[in-house]
Amino acid sequence: MTQTSKNQTLPSFEIGGTDAVTRMGYGAMRITGPGNFGPPTDKQAALNVVRGAAELGINFFDTADSYGPGVSEEILAEALAPVRDKVFIATKGGAIKSAPGKVRFDGSQAHLADAVEGSLRRLKTDRIDLYYLHRPDPNVPFEESVQALARFRNEGKIRHVGLSNVSLEQLREAIDIVPVAAVQNAYSLVRREHEGLLRFAEEQGIAFVAYAPLAAPPFDPRAPLADTNGPLAGIAKELGATPTQVALAWLFQHSPSLLTIPGTANVAHLRENVGATTLSLSGEEAERIEAAVASEGGPR
């Protein structure tokens, strides 16, 4: 397995052209309770994995007010308090979780105004580094939701505006209203329907933050690309790496604007993920990786 060490310098990207964040981020959905609802069964373990991410050099942490709900934001705030000036925290608003697996979306300006205040309070900050609309609400004009984010930015409550689960058309519409620093969509070797959006983001200097980087949802977070008997197993063995590391390294090579936020509640998995940043792929190796996935059905 490709190894990593504490406090190493990880590859970075400048969010909004101003804030250097590590392209390997940490997705904080898994530090909540079962079904992403309620507190974790072991809070100290959750605090330890977040602190472990920072010790490994990650400075980009991603959460949402619906994770818990509220629990993930509170744990991040507590875990990262000693290094708060050295890390960058992104959160999302517009999703309301009322039970495990039960989520509804509200992109109204009134709800988003309440949501951003709640996130400010739980994150114990007076300005959120990056605030995403979690998902467009089909019952609210997209323009109205984006205008709310623009207002929060003008008021100094958020530093950068982000959009999640959006189309290329929606991104184009949004940047006519407010500068967009990042988009966050599902993207991986097996899920590449947002390739056009990725390339547009690259042209515009916008970060493309890939969630579900190892498989397409609904998904087991460590399969199929992480499967030791999966399509990447042979190439990973040749490279002295794991299938997970190969899948993540491919993302970093595929576009300089790609960041990713694999989530885990396991420190060993965290180290494995970070190890992908030291794995360099040749053009021929990248082609073989794509071909291996194609042989299993190819990307969607």
Residue with tokens 């060993």: 268
Which residues on neighbouring strands pair with residue 68, listed in sequence order?
Answer: 37
pLDDT at residue number 297: 60
**CB–CB of 246/239 below 8 Å?**
yes
Chain centroid offset of residue 157 CA: 21
| Partners of residue 22 on adjacent β-strands | 12
Average pLDDT score over residue span 189-203: 96
Beta bridge partners of 96: 104
Q: For position 50, what pLDDT does the model report?
A: 98
Question: For 63-75, how does the pLDDT look when each residue is reduced to its tens digit (9 = 90+)?
Answer: 999 999 999 999 9
Active site residue 132: no
Q: What is the pLDDT of residue 223?
A: 52
What digits encode the pLDDT tens for the residues 27-43? Answer: 999 999 998 999 999 99
Q: Terminal CA-to-CA distance of the chain, rounded, Å?
A: 28
Find the catalytic residue in 67, 131, 132, 211.
Answer: 67
Would you say 60 and 26 are in contact if contact means Cβ atoms under 8 Å apart?
Answer: yes
228-253 average pLDDT score: 94
Residue 88 identity: F
Residue for token pair 């399969």: 223
With a CB cutoff of 8 Å and minimum separation 6, the contacts of 48 are 267
Q: Using CA atoms, how far apart are residues 222 and 212, in angstroms rounded to an integer?
A: 9
State the pairing for strand pair 12-15/19-22.
Answer: antiparallel
Give pTM, 2 decimals. 0.94
The tokens of 261 are what? 């936020």
